[in-house]
Amino acid sequence: MIYAKMEHHEELVCATDFKRGHNYFCPGCKERVTYKNGPQKQAHFAHYKKTCHYFSEGETDAHVIGKKLIKLWAEKRHKQAKIEEYLPKIKQRPDVLINLRNSQLVVEYQCSPLSLDSFRKRTKGYKEHGYRIFWILGKRHMLGQRLTQQQAMFINFHKNIGYFLVYLDAEKQCLVLKYELCFENLYGLRYRTGIFTDATALMLFIKINSRNRNLALTRSELAGQLTKLEKNCHYLNRYLKNQIDYCYARRQLFMGFPLCCLSESRLPPIYQHEDIFWRIRVVLELQEVMADSITRSEIELMFMKHQKITKMFF
Ligand SMILES: [Zn+2]
């Protein structure tokens, strides 16, 4: 670990600021730790015993340590930071309040679940009083293969890294960035991951990362989607089965759909299901309502227009 507690001090101390003659403790289990510094690894603290089981116990403790880390990282950037400072005007107590040059930044380290309503209220309260707000998430909200509504409401956007979420791993004492979030037909949610030792490293990455804006899918990627679709038809997950039944009820073959139902680019992470499903429904409805008066190329043109609109979200 990079940060430990010095005896008689509440604050965390970075291993690079280690001073001889003091005892240091794990911020989690409170066991004494030893200082290590060698040519192979950067300065760090280590438990005498191999393991620390502290963090598996609860998110409250991770929350306490996370707030301290955020404060320390802000101070390393020469910013004044306070933990749980009461703001009487809005009757709120932000996890960490950081003084920036021209504004104040509220950092909320969200480890527990939060309803959309409370999220809105809290964000609104801060914004109305001129505070900037940034959410850092705890382990519970970690991205998997699907995007939940809980995770979706915390998504940010930056021109250099696209849609992103920031996590703080209180146990490993690092920041985890999930970026370039997008949807791809049949593959669901896709993103890249970066791990950073502190806020400075994360901010530098965001600043210098030039985004791979190539959102268009290649021919082979599209072919891969088609193969996967064919395979999935046999596995029949419930959602896909509903789609196939829906087509069947209209005397149509699910696999007989025009290629324009497969989007040619990656999509912003705003859909619950892949866009192929609603595209197929649109084609079915059009064919039903307009019978032969709509041509295949007219349908393709319509989807091309939609593609332009989606690109505006990236
Ligand atoms: Zn420990």
What pLDDT, in 10s, does the model give residues 212-258? 666 788 888 888 888 887 777 666 667 777 878 888 887 777 777 77
The distance of Cα 99 from the centroid of its chain, to the nearest Å, equals 25
CA 148 to centroid of ligand 1, rounded, Å? 32
Q: Is the confidence at residue 45, as pLDDT, over 80? A: yes
Give the integer Cα–Cα distance in Å for 113 and 299: 43
Question: What does residue 135 show for φ and ψ, rounded to 5 degrees?
Answer: -105, 130
CA 169 to centroid of ligand 1, rounded, Å? 14
CA 47 to centroid of ligand 1, rounded, Å? 7
CA 25 to centroid of ligand 1, rounded, Å? 8
Q: Does domain 58-208 have CATH number 3.90.1720?
A: no
Give the integer Cα–Cα distance in Å for 251 and 240: 17
CB-CB contact of 186 with 158 (8 Å): no
Give 269: exposed, middle or buried? Use CB within 10 Å, 0-12, 13-18, 19+.
Answer: buried
CB-CB contact of 186 with 228 (8 Å): yes
Surrounding ion ligand 1 within 5 Å at CB are 26, 28-29, 52, 54
- Higher-pLDDT residue of 144 and 292 is 144
Question: What does residue 105 show for φ and ψ, rounded to 5 degrees?
Answer: -110, 125
CA atoms within 13 A on the CB side of 49: 10
Nearest to 108 by CA among 93, 120, 127, 88: 93
- Higher-pLDDT residue of 148 and 185 is 148
CA 62 to centroid of ligand 1, rounded, Å? 12
Q: Is the confidence at residue 83, as pLDDT, over 70? A: yes
How many beta carbons lie within 10 A of that of residue 28, not counting itself?
Answer: 22
* Residue indicated by tokens 């930071």: 81
Mean pLDDT of the 162-172 span: 93
H or E stretch at 311:
helix 296-311
pLDDT grade for 197, boundaries at 50, 70 and 90: very high
Q: With pLDDT > 70 as the criterion, what percentage of the chain qualifies?
A: 91
The pLDDT, as a whole number, for residue 58 is 61
Maximum pairwise Cα distance, the chain: 86
CA 27 to centroid of ligand 1, rounded, Å? 7
Report helix, strand and coil shares of the chain as percent, to nearest 5. Answer: 40, 25, 35
CA 19 to centroid of ligand 1, rounded, Å? 20
Lowest mean pLDDT among 73-87, 91-105, 147-161, 229-243: 229-243
Average per-residue pLDDT for the chain: 86
pLDDT grade for 106, boundaries at 50, 70 and 90: very high
The pLDDT, as a whole number, for residue 93 is 92
CA 26 to centroid of ligand 1, rounded, Å? 5
Give the integer Cα–Cα distance in Å for 215 and 44: 40
CA 60 to centroid of ligand 1, rounded, Å? 15
Q: In the beta sheet, which residues pair with residue 106?
A: 97, 133
pLDDT grade for 57, boundaries at 50, 70 and 90: low
CA 22 to centroid of ligand 1, rounded, Å? 18
Q: Residue ranges of the domains in the chain?
A: 1-54, 58-208, 219-311
CA 164 to centroid of ligand 1, rounded, Å? 30
Mean pLDDT of the 176-190 span: 88
